[in-house]
Chains A and B, each alone.
Chain A
Amino acid sequence: MTVDKTSRAPLLDQAPGDLLPAELLGRHDGGKEALPALDRRGFLKAAALPCLACGLGGAAVFIPRLQAARAKVDESRFVREARFYEKQPYKKIKCVLCPRECVIDDRERGYCGARENRGGTYYTLVHSRVCSAHIDPIEKKPFFHVYPGTTAFSIATAGCNVNCKMCQNWEISQVRPEQVRSVYLPPRELAALARQNGCKAIAYTYTEPVIFYEYMVDSADAGHAEGVKSVVVTGGYINRKPLEELCRHVDAIKVDLKAFSEKYYEEIVNGKLKPVLDGLVTIKSRGMWTEIVYLVVPTLNDGDDEFRGLAKWVKAELGPDVPVHFSRFHPEYLLKNLPPTPLKTLERAKAIADSEGLHYVYLGNVPGHPAESTYCPRCHKKIIDRVGYLVRSVHIKKGRCEFCNQEIPGVWGS
């Protein structure tokens, strides 16, 4: 799945009783679990909740804990006919949104759990069905070359099209939409909230936005109408056609490249590497800004050869200016038996990538490390000074280094 690796999922910060509500915890009081609509007042009220993730550097956080009312929920408002599928005989369908290409019988769901065949028509069950919402620094995604120092209105719906053993957010990514609390947040409302809260962008993150593709695209369009950008945090496990279309709607895409070996993808991710690499090439070829995060997991994807292979491939296929973030692993989910990544391993990865000629190699989840900052590849001066997610200074003007006028690639805005 896609993880905002520098943070824990919002729901993880809640008390256990809030963590797995609805179907996962069940109902013990005889009432029916409700998924109430989030009206603007309610949402803003929720926004006033204490900042539960401030310790992680969130500029402001709100969490939709909107379970006061217990009413019968109209689930139909989350359901829209899905895009990118083919009808087959006997009411089967084939979903071609992602490389998994699930063939699904009537009344069944795809691997992601967020799409369902109903009588031979395929539906997304998660349009406007937000299970997690935060206002985060954009650095937390992480995007280091996209509007530094701004915030992103970050949302997720439940489900994912892979199943990573180290997933930090499995309580929302590895469940079905009806198994977690969600709020109804249609695209125009989302865009308006992002703008009202001063966010530069909407970020589709925490789970895997590919599985809420229709909502993401509609929201990106609604955001642009409000002057709000859209950034995507994805595992990149998506077919070419929907990816090309997505590139026409959003402003930047960060890809979690989870390893540089098919073996790791098969055994740890439950997916395949090649479509992700192909996707990165497609993103680049469409002129879309992209950054790569590589979560370094001790003993599983931390070999010199793998780091070097990755760096060589990035340089050859995407160019040396694509930022690569080597991020620290923390034991989670089904990989609790491994230790956190040693700092030395991360520094070794950076040294190898630097030596291969990549211009922007960062370390993640190591607050205070010098490799959190951006340095000009020509004069080597610090041009974005970061501590954690805090941006202390930016020395880039009109996309150029203030000290030596070197062009610095990214989405800097005016």
Chain B
Amino acid sequence: MGSDRRVSRRSFSRWSLAGLLLPAGACRAGVEQRGVAGTSSPPERSKVVVARDEKVRSGRSRLDEARVLDLLDRSLQALYGCDSPSEAWRRVAGLGKVIGLKVNCLAGKGASTHRVLVEAVCERLQQAGVPAKNLIVWDRLSSDLESAGFRINERGNKPRCIGNDIYGYDSELMAYGRVGSLVCNTLTRRCDAVINLPVLKDHSIAGVTIALKNFFGAIHNPNKYHLNVGDPYVADAYMLEPIRTKARLHICDAFNVQYEGGPSYLPQWSWPYNGLLVSADPVALDSIGRRIIEEKRAAEGFPSLKDQKREPTYIATAADKDHRLGIADPGRIDVVEV
């Protein structure tokens, strides 16, 4: 990334204090949802943390770094059921030795993952012990990353920031269901785990694009998979082994929600939601994210996605007996507001 961000003294001391007060492993058992992808026995319930802060903006559109950090801390703490954010972040840091951060920058500034959020995640992971060079911020194209405000970086003691156009794709064709694709080397060869950082957006073809669909940015041929409102393609692509096994945590950037006109950035339909959606279950996160978009659309007088013939049925498909990627039924999802 562009800035070689160091841990600020203020945040570091706050953290250190928290760390001292808590024994390791103080998170409550049974609260964390691990990646349920493709397992034969998905959990009975899933949890999605919805964290909002009306004062997260320091200016008209600028995000306040300290408040973003605070939102993140509260979200992770609530997700893992820990008594301190430092403990929660230690769990995140334990997901892998090299951690990828999959952002979504296709729409450029305005409807892409905010750099402030990504920097905050990197900062916390470094504090939790992950060396900066073991963090890889990535998306499909380097030019997309740059257009969203990121700076490409391949070396030095900084997080890597790079597009698939530079690291390339694995030469082994992977297939599941109706999908056959090459998966990017960042995911197959360089990362042990991935934190998914999608954006909460309407999508003109697939209904919505949130956590599941963000991994279209990991395959070489996403343009082939928007048929039939993306169903079952989105779910099938997520079933590809490197995606299914390495995507472990989903932190959805919902500071601005594009509730109509997506995936492009159209400011007239961009809603300052000022929040994050966090889950270990991408299906549950998509289900709740979709509900938020639908409610806003209704409030603004737009037809439902179903009425527009673009209901994102791939979310339910991702939860079916063939995929078992998580829970789509809102009745089985605990929404925790912080």
Contact = CB atoms under 8 A, between A and B. Distances in A.
A113 interface: yes
Contacts of A113: 221, 223-224
B165 interface: yes
Nearest to A30: B154
Most buried by B among A26, A30, A106: A26
13 contacts: A22-B168, A90-B266, A103-B204, A103-B205, A107-B264, A108-B106, A111-B227, A112-B223, A113-B223, A163-B224, A174-B224, A176-B220, A179-B169
Contacts of B8: none
B107 interface: yes
A113 B223 CA distance: 6
A176 B182 CA distance: 12
A27 B106 contact: no
A85 to B, nearest CB: 16
Nearest to A267: B178
Contacts of A27: 166-168
Contact of B164 (A23, A111, A175, A270): A23
B220 A179 contact: yes
A108 B108 CA distance: 12
A333 interface: yes
A109 interface: yes
Contacts of A110: 223
Interface string A19-32: 11011111100100
Contact of A20 (B169, B204, B224, B227): B169
A270 B266 CA distance: 32
Given A24-B220, A107-B106, A334-B175, 4 more contacts: A16-B171, A24-B171, A90-B266, A108-B263
Interface in B247-268: 261-264, 266
Contact of B168 (A25, A92, A111, A270): A25
Nearest to B164: A23
B108 A107 contact: yes
A284 interface: no
B313 interface: no
A80 interface: no
Interface in A92-140: 92, 103, 105-113
B224 A105 contact: no
A333 B227 CA distance: 20
B112 to A, nearest CB: 11
Most buried by A among B175, B182, B263, B266: B182
B185 interface: yes
Nearest to A106: B264
A90 B168 contact: no
A103 B204 CA distance: 9
Contact of A23 (B154, B168, B226): B168
B149 interface: no
Contact of B221 (A22, A92, A106, A175): A175
Contact of A26 (B108, B167, B226, B264): B167
Interface of B: 106-108, 154, 164-169, 171, 173, 175, 180, 182, 185, 204-205, 220-221, 223-224, 226-227, 261-264, 266
A208 interface: no
- A-B pairs, 4 with minimum CB distance: A26-B168, A113-B223, A105-B264, A334-B180
Nearest to A270: B227
B223 A24 contact: no
A91 interface: yes
A178 interface: yes
B171 A270 contact: no
Interface of A: 16, 19-20, 22-27, 30, 90-92, 103, 105-113, 163, 165, 174-176, 178-179, 270, 333-334
A177 to B, nearest CB: 12
A113 B224 CA distance: 8
B224 A25 contact: no
B191 to A, nearest CB: 14
B174 to A, nearest CB: 11
Given A107-B108, A107-B264, A111-B223, A178 B165 contact: yes
B63 to A, nearest CB: 23
A154 B165 CA distance: 28
Contacts of A105: 204, 262-264
A19 B182 CA distance: 13
Most buried by A among B108, B263, B264: B264
A262 B205 CA distance: 23
A24 B107 contact: no
A26 B164 CA distance: 8
A23 B262 CA distance: 27
Contacts of A175: 220-221
A26 B188 CA distance: 13
A19 B164 contact: no
Contacts of A176: 220-221, 223
A105 B169 CA distance: 25
B213 to A, nearest CB: 13
Contact of A24 (B168, B262, B263): B168
Contacts of A109: 223
Contacts of A178: 165
Contacts of B204: 92, 103, 105
B51 to A, nearest CB: 29
A108 B220 CA distance: 14
A113 to B, nearest CB: 5
Contacts of B164: 23, 26
B208 to A, nearest CB: 14
Contacts of A20: 169, 171, 182
B26 to A, nearest CB: 42
A110 to B, nearest CB: 7
Contacts of A19: 171
A136 to B, nearest CB: 26
Nearest to B205: A103
Nearest to A89: B261
B166 A26 contact: yes
A35 to B, nearest CB: 12
B173 A333 contact: yes
Nearest to B166: A27
Nearest to A174: B221
A246 to B, nearest CB: 23
Contacts of B220: 23-24, 175-176, 179
A324 B108 CA distance: 50
B271 to A, nearest CB: 17
A317 B272 CA distance: 59
A174 B263 CA distance: 23
B31 to A, nearest CB: 39
Contacts of B182: 20, 24
Given A23-B164, A92-B204, A334-B180, A111 B171 contact: no
